[in-house]
C-alpha cells in the first residue's frame, strides 16, 4: 500500500485511512474477533468488505491496477518475508545461546567424531562455535 502511492498516485489521506483500517482488521484477526463470512469468495473479499465497512469509499481504490492473482502473490510474498524474519530471529537466539554455552565450558575436552566413531579430542567450544557460523 505504501509503495502503491508511488505508482498509482493514491492521495496520502486515503492511504493513511486505509492503513489504519487494515491495522484494525489485523488486530481483530489476531485477537480471533474477526467474523469470516462464508458468503464472500475468499480472504480478500472478507477483508475488503470489512475495510469498506470501516473506512468507506477509500477502500474501493484497492482494486486499482491489481488482479486477484497479484493479490495472492503479494500475500504469499509478505507471509514468506514474515516467516523468514521469525526464523532469522530464532537462529540469532540460538547463536547467542551456543556462544554463551561455549563460554561457560571453557577448556572442556570432548571426543570428536568421524563417521560416527570417536576420533581426536576437541574442545567443546570449537564444536559449539562451529554451529554458530
pLDDT one-digit tens code per residue, 46-104: 998 999 999 998 887 776 656 777 878 888 999 999 999 999 999 999 999 999 999 99
Q: How is the chain split into domains, by residue range?
A: 1-66, 82-133
Nearest to 33 by CA among 48, 20, 45, 50: 50
Choose the weakest-confidence range: 8-12, 29-33, 34-38, 51-55.
8-12
Better-predicted residue by pLDDT, 1 or 104: 104
Say what angle helices 43-55 and 68-104 make with each other, to 10 degrees: 100
pLDDT at 102: 98
CATH architecture for segment(s) 1-66 = Orthogonal Bundle (1.10)
Q: What is the pLDDT of residues 99-108, one digit of tens each?
A: 999 999 999 9
What lies within 8 Å, CB to CB, of 1 at 6+ separation is: 10, 15, 18, 19, 22
Amino acid at each position: 500500500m505504501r509503495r502503491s502511492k508511488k505508482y498509482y498516485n493514491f492521495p496520502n489521506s486515503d492511504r493513511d485511512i486505509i492503513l489504519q483500517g487494515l491495522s484494525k482488521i489485523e488486530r481483530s484477526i489476531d485477537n480471533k474477533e474477526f467474523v469470516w463470512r462464508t458468503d464472500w469468495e475468499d480472504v480478500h473479499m472478507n477483508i475488503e468488505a470489512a475495510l469498506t465497512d470501516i473506512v468507506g469509499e477509500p477502500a474501493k481504490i484497492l482494486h486499482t491496477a491489481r488482479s486477484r492473482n497479484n493479490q495472492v502473490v503479494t500475500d504469499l510474498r509478505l507471509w514468506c518475508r514474515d516467516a523468514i524474519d521469525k526464523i532469522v530471529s530464532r537462529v540469532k537466539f540460538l547463536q547467542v545461546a551456543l556462544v554463551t554455552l561455549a563460554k561457560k565450558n571453557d577448556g572442556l575436552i570432548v571426543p570428536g567424531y568421524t563417521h560416527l566413531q570417536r576420533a581426536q579430542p576437541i574442545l567443546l567450544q570449537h564444536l559449539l562455535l562451529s554451529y554458530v557460523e
